[in-house]
Amino acid sequence: AEAAGGGDKEAVRAYFNSTGFERWRKIYGSATEGVNRVQLDIREGHAQTVAAALAMLRDSPLELAGATVCDAGCGTGSLAIPLAAAGADVLASDISAAMVSEAQRQAAAQSSSSSFRMPRFEVRDLESLEGRYDVVVCLDVLIHYPREEARAMIRHLASLADKRLLISFAPRTLYFDFLKRVGELFPGPSKATRAYLHAEADIEDALRQAGWRVANRGFISTQFYFAKLFDAVPVGSST
């Protein structure tokens, strides 16, 4: 087997530097002009995932101010920026240079608030992340990873995290398979538009292999957006 990310990786990078960038920047943005109903619905679902992840971290015993956080596949910074505003020390990285510079631009626009700690932004893929962080977050990225690569990536992300690992992924359900086939979620002929759904049990099993367990779980669904959110901790830790 190829390394995590597999043969699709270059296509994914190209997609998120071009049409994918334009599409997702629009979905993750706040403007409504030129945004269709499906995109607005996905925006709403994704915003709920971000809010749920923030709530899980706020409810955890961890003190966010000063905590080190690695946002793996940060996109336009939807989670990295509020974490930075809460005083976390954030490394925000993404395989797409276009995404990273958009995240940087949005962070600069926020940086006037007093507790804001400017994240460190890096263009790099998940595979090359290293170091140790109190928290690792990886939202809506595993959709680009086939089953075995996703499992390997979870083990890798777990090896970077000390206290918490938050992962969201599109669950394997018939309805989601249908939407994917219809092409609403990933239109276009590009290979990068391939989406991989994951069975909850697979993700949990990979976490278990890494010595982690799911402490909290969420399920976010709107009409066109579905995500499972896992908040995991090392086995043996109390919360």
178 CB neighbour count, 10 Å cutoff: 10
Nearest approach, Cβ of 82 to ligand SAM (angstroms)?
Answer: 11
Binding residue for ligand SAM, selected from 42, 95, 136, 203, defined by CB under 6 A: 95
Decide: is 169 part of the binding site for ligand SAM (CB under 6 A).
Answer: no
User: Which residue, among 225, 218, 194, 180, has the nearest Cα to 37 in the 3D structure?
Assistant: 225
141 forms part of the interface with ligand SAM (CB under 6 A): yes
Q: How far is the CB of 236 from ligand SAM (least distance, A)?
A: 28
Selected binder of ligand SAM within 102, 140, 204, 231 (CB under 6 A): 140
Do 73 and 141 meet the contact criterion of CB atoms below 8 Å apart? yes
In whole angstroms, how close is the CB of 160 to ligand SAM at the nearest point? 13
C-alpha span between 111 and 85 (Å, rounded): 8
Is residue 149 part of the contact set for ligand SAM (CB under 6 A)? no
- Strand runs (DSSP E) across the chain, as ranges? 68-72, 89-94, 120-123, 133-139, 161-169, 212-221, 226-234
| Other Cβ atoms closer than 10 A to 196 | 17
User: Of the two residues 139 and 233, which places its CB atom closer to ligand SAM in the complex?
Assistant: 139
Size of the site for ligand SAM (CB under 6 A): 20
Residue nearest to ligand SAM (CB): 75
- Indicate whether 12 belongs to the interface with ligand SAM (CB under 6 A): yes
Which residue matches tokens 């000063």?
Answer: 66
Binder of ligand SAM out of 99, 150, 185, 233 (CB under 6 A): 99
Q: Tell me the closest approach of the beta carbon of residue 24 to ligand SAM, in angstroms.
A: 6
Q: Within 10 Å of residue 19's Cβ, how many Cβ atoms?
A: 15
Q: Quick one: 144 or 228, whose CB is closer to ligand SAM? A: 144
Binding of ligand SAM at residue 9 (CB under 6 A)?
yes
Contact with ligand SAM (CB under 6 A): which of 52, 57, 67, 73? 73
- Please, what is the minimum distance in Å from the beta carbon of residue 94 to ligand SAM? 5
Q: Is the dihedral of CA 191, 221, 86, 130 positive or negative?
A: negative
Residue 131: C-alpha distances to residues 15, 134, 181, 225 (Å): 28, 10, 39, 32
Nearest to 126, CA basis, from 161, 154, 166 = 154
Residue ranges binding ligand SAM (CB under 6 A): 5, 9, 12, 16, 24, 28, 73-75, 78, 94-96, 99, 125-126, 139-141, 144
